[in-house]
Amino acid sequence: MGLKRVFRVFRYKPGWSRPRYETYTLDLPEWATVLEALMRIRRDHAPDLTLRHSCLHGSCGTCGMRINGREALACLVKVQDLPERITVEPLYNLGVVSDLVVDMPAFYEKFEPVGRPLIRRSEYLPQAVPPEGIPHFTRLESCIECGLCVSACPVAATDEAYLGPAALAAAWRVVEEPRDARVWQALALADSPHGCWRCHLALECSEVCPTGVKPGHAIAALRAYLLTSQAVRTASPMGEAS
């Protein structure tokens, strides 16, 4: 055991316990992540501590939280890179269900209607020739639906109806690579009063995204796309039909 750290963990059970911070002192092995520390807290000190986790390598997006005030996936943050006192809180802007668990249905309420398929064309190794019977290599989309961008977004903090960076980034992926998705639907959502025009370009979303999706850039791209297509519509005597 090499790392001694003090964890201040946000604890709150809506309806029956007040929001508070509880302190746990841990001796951890050098490889420990913040998620490992939280799993040990649950195992050894607080069996009713609720948190989300699954893959342990930043692929599932469940362990998003705020660590010393910054959005991160707890499974990717090594304790040895942090100071002696570590504060762990749930994500902002989604509502707390219990302790570190936030309201993911609220996230998917905005994300799902965009209709972005999960599988995309792989852009890796363009020189590779796919085997017979496989028209092109594919991969899972980069966005892991972790909610870090929504938590970091200053607009989401003030406008509850704002579609938010994750859903808008997904909408851009539909425009970029439609597959069988309904592009018009994704564009209509992006163009709505609570869509991409609400963004202040703070770019906090792109900053905290753990998988390089860069939602802020996607939003800028959506705006440019919508402006261009509106310009085309305005210039055309046939309006939208052209």
Partner 1 sequence: MAKPANFHVVIVGGGATGAALAHDLALRGLRVTLVERGEVTSGTTGRHHGLLHSGGRYAVKDPESARECIEENFILRKIAPGSFELNDGLFVAITEEDEAYLPRFLEGCEACGIPTQVLSREEALRLEPNLNPQVRVAVRVPDGTMDAMRLPLRFLATAKKNGAVVRPYTEVLEVLKRNGTVYGVRVRDHVTGREEDIHADVVVNAAGPWSGKIAAMVGVDVPIRPSPGVLVAVEGRWTNMVINRLHPAGDGDIIVPQRGLSIIGTTSWVVDDPDALDLPEDHVRLMFEKGGEMVPVVGKAPLWAAWSAARPLVGPRQAETGRELSRTFKCFDHADEGVEGFVTITGGKATTARGMAEVTADVVCRKLGLDVPSRTREVVLLPHTAYYRL
- Residue 64 CA to its chain's centroid (Å): 8
3-22: which residues touch partner 1 (CB under 8 A)? Answer: 13, 15-17
Choose one: 45-53, 160-168, 197-205, 227-235; the region binding partner 1 (CB under 8 A): 45-53
Kindly state whether residue 117 participates in binding partner 1, applying the rule CB under 8 A.
yes
CB 208 within 8 A of CB 148: yes
Kindly state whether residue 138 participates in binding partner 1, applying the rule CB under 8 A.
yes
SS (H, E, C) 130-145: CCCCCCCCEEECCCCC
Scan for tokens 């998003």, then name that residue.
64
Q: Which amino acid is at 42?
A: R
3, 60, 202, 220: which one binds partner 1 (CB under 8 A): 60
118, 235, 238, 241: which one binds partner 1 (CB under 8 A): 118
Q: How many residues does the chain have?
A: 242
Q: What are phi and psi of 114, to 5 degrees?
A: -65, -30
Contacts with partner 1, 67-86, as mask; x by CB under 8 A: --------xx----------
Output the CA–CA distances (angstroms, integers) from residue 165 to 46, 113, 128, 168, 173, in the order listed. 34, 14, 33, 5, 12
CB 238 within 8 A of CB 188: no
Kindly state whether residue 125 participates in binding partner 1, applying the rule CB under 8 A.
yes
Kindly state whether residue 141 participates in binding partner 1, applying the rule CB under 8 A.
yes
| Cβ within 8 Å of residue 11, ≥6 positions away | 17, 19, 20, 21, 22, 46, 49, 99
Q: Which is nearer to partner 1, 18 or 241 (CB)?
A: 18
Kindly state whether residue 122 participates in binding partner 1, applying the rule CB under 8 A.
yes
Q: Which is nearer to partner 1, 141 or 159 (CB)?
A: 141
Kindly state whether residue 135 participates in binding partner 1, applying the rule CB under 8 A.
no
Q: Note the residues at the interface with partner 1 (CB under 8 A).
A: 13, 15-17, 29, 31, 33, 39, 43, 47-60, 62, 75-76, 97-98, 101, 104-105, 107-109, 111-112, 117-119, 122, 124-125, 127-131, 134, 137-142, 144, 211-212
